[in-house]
Amino acid sequence: MRYDMISGLQQEYSNYTSEDFEVWKFLFERQMPALKQVAAQEYLQGIDNICFTADKIPDIEETNKLLGTQTGWELIVVPGIIKEPDFFNLLSQKKFPATTWIRKKESLDYLPEPDMFHDVFGHVPLLTHYHFTEFFQTIGKLGVQHLQNEQVVAMLGRLYWFTIEFGLIRTNNILKIYGAGIISSYSETKFSLSTEPKHIPYDASVIMNTPYENDHIQDTYYVIDSFEQLYHSIETIEQVIATAL
């Protein structure tokens, strides 16, 4: 699916049903009490910055206006998971691909692919944070630059997985969550901070050479000290890529 085809899609807000609003409200109200205690403060501030609430499914047009004034990012509506060339291309331009469909009541806790609650509730609040978005955009730029190199693309995929999707942060010596895959998952929010999984200090060079599995709850999480640390690891990431060429 090419980017010029993706860009023509729009959120059809009037098509949302009463069940869609009920599901959004249920998921939002189920997650927020826990997140207020265990999510990174930068994520919680982002929720306020883009005015997400339980009673209203986010309007992409309104969200884009808020993102635009804060970090210059915007959401691009996509039908589902898109191909890597399109994904990297969008990120490199400060554009995040997001679905607008919402899971059904009978599928509240498991989906074969991300819905709007994951894409928007999980990812978008941190798109208001400068250092996080600079790191995010760099993944896109490096992906575009090295798209023909499968090894580098795999490395960037691992980096994305263990940070953007399933990253943890240690604040005042307390573990918090920021990865969207955890943020949007009721069960993984609890599990990721328990004593069961491994918690390993963030090291981009290690992560880029660590395979992951995407069909079950993670058993290993990498922990950053700050979003500035992610930003300042870009030089290391580029060095790791250089050695793979």
Beta bridge partners of 170: 175
The answer to whether residues 58 and 122 touch, using CB atoms and an 8 Å cutoff, is no
Matching residue, tokens 């306020």: 48
Catalytic residue among 42, 74, 92, 118: 118
DSSP tag of 59: P
Q: Which two three-digit tokens encode residue 100?
A: 């607008």
Catalytic residue among 42, 92, 123, 146: 123
* Residue 184 annotated as catalytic: yes
DSSP tag of 109: S
Could you give the angle at which helices 84-92 and 150-160 cross, rounded to 10 degrees? 60
Catalytic residue among 184, 185, 192, 233: 184
Catalytic residue among 42, 74, 92, 165: 165
Alpha-carbon distances of 186 from 32, 60, 180, rounded to whole Å = 10, 24, 12
- Report which residue type is found at 22: E
The answer to whether residues 1 and 82 touch, using CB atoms and an 8 Å cutoff, is yes
* Residue 123 annotated as catalytic: yes
Alpha-carbon distance of 104 to 74, in angstroms, equals: 26
Alpha-carbon distance of 89 to 137, in angstroms, equals: 10
Compute the Cα dihedral for 191, 197, 200, 202 and give only its sign: negative
Please list the active-site residues.
118, 123, 165, 184
